[in-house]
Amino acid sequence: MKAVMRRSTKAHDVGLMDIPEPSAGPGQLKLKVAYGGICSSDAHVLEMDLPASPRFQPPVVVGHEGVGYVAEIGPGVTGFAVGDLVAAETTFACCGVCEFCRRGDTGMCRSGRKSLGWSANGYWAEYILVNALFSHKLAPHVNAKGAAVLEPFTCGVKSILQRVKVNPGDIAVIWGPGPIGLGVVQMAKLAGARVVVVGTEHSRPRLEVAKKVGAYRTLVSGVDDVVAEIKAMTGGYGAQLCSDAAGSQTTFKEAIACVRRQGTVLMMTGPFNKPLELHTFEVLEKEVAILFAEGTNPHSWNTAVKLLDAGLVDLDSLVSDVFPLEQWEEGVAKTRRHEGMKILLRP
């Protein structure tokens, strides 16, 4: 079968290859991939400018986001049928005995975790093997294209429901109108917040999507005085929640300036290969809580799937482009340029 494989840890040692088609083993599902998503982190995997991580184990097929149809059911698996539309969590295997696994936070397991696209073959292929324990059958009416964005949306679910507290009437400001940022937008709105999304001149098309999926207001950094606008909206207090899904020094600094006293700054990402500068007295004097949210877990996946099945969130609008698998380099290049929204590959 055709697959985009990272062959080694050398930069750019990635290519479209013919590899053997897998068969489902015990506890596994074999999916015919419908779509594989391109995450900005995939571009860093291709460049190999990520910090060293033991969970990155090439040779491996790239792609931790996606969705597919059940093609084969392994021994011992129940609850699935051939033809079911399924999205799998990024966890392919975990130790099952550490503190994090035992409380259901499998994404934090570091003693035996294997993850799709990093240490287990991912979605940028014609077929993928997934662990049935971490797989979710989707309702028949769900659009496969939108379902391919479940993984980044689930990051937003985890951030709002597990990492911070959002109350009805709160002002939540999100920097970075990409797929993860707009997942946070939809979850914060469901929690009752008025959501403001901040982007750049380059991201104006994404800000239009932000309005479509629930943003109360959008601002353009460098054009609008973001800090003054947020202070004016809040009677001078600042926002209860400032979430940075862009991860630059500029957006981090702006988030700190916009958050109210005893408010929360939530970091959804950050520079992959350089530190962020923080003036500690500013956050100390305001008693600001700075939290981080990374990845997903089964709890956030269960909620995300229920919301999608019920039609309470719009993931279809987060997809802008679909490229054939053979044109994966074009899709990655467009992702690097921050053009469009979520870009998918179709085997």
What tokens were used for 141?
């009416």
Find out if CATH 3.55.30.10 is the number for domain 155-292: no
- Please say whether the beta carbons of 175 and 246 come within 8 A: yes
Domain 2-149+315-346: CATH architecture, name and number where available: Alpha-Beta Complex (3.90)
Residue with tokens 């020094």: 249
List per-residue pLDDT tens for the chain, 347 residues long.
Answer: 999 999 988 888 899 999 999 999 999 999 999 999 999 888 777 777 666 677 788 999 999 999 999 999 999 999 999 999 999 999 999 999 999 999 999 999 988 899 999 999 999 999 999 999 999 999 999 999 999 999 999 999 999 999 999 999 999 999 999 999 999 999 999 999 999 999 999 999 999 999 999 999 999 999 999 999 999 999 999 999 999 999 999 999 999 999 999 999 999 998 777 888 998 999 999 999 999 999 999 999 999 999 999 999 999 999 999 999 999 999 999 999 999 999 999 99
Token representation of residue 279: 């003036």
Domain definitions of the chain by residue range: 2-149+315-346, 155-292
DSSP sequence for 183-244: HHHHHHHHTT-EEEEEE-GGGHHHHHHHHHTT-SEEEEBTTB-HHHHHHHHTTTS-EEEEEE
CB atoms within 10 A of CB 290: 16
172 phi, psi to nearest 5 deg: -115, 130
Residue 14 has, within 13 A of its CA and on its CB side, a CA count of 24
Which residues is 18 bridged to in the sheet? 2
Cβ-based neighbours of 345, under 8 Å, separated by 6 or more: 4, 35, 36, 37, 38, 63, 123, 124, 322, 323, 324, 325, 327, 328, 331
Please state the φ and ψ torsions of residue 133, each to the nearest 5 degrees: -65, -30
pTM of the entire predicted model: 0.94
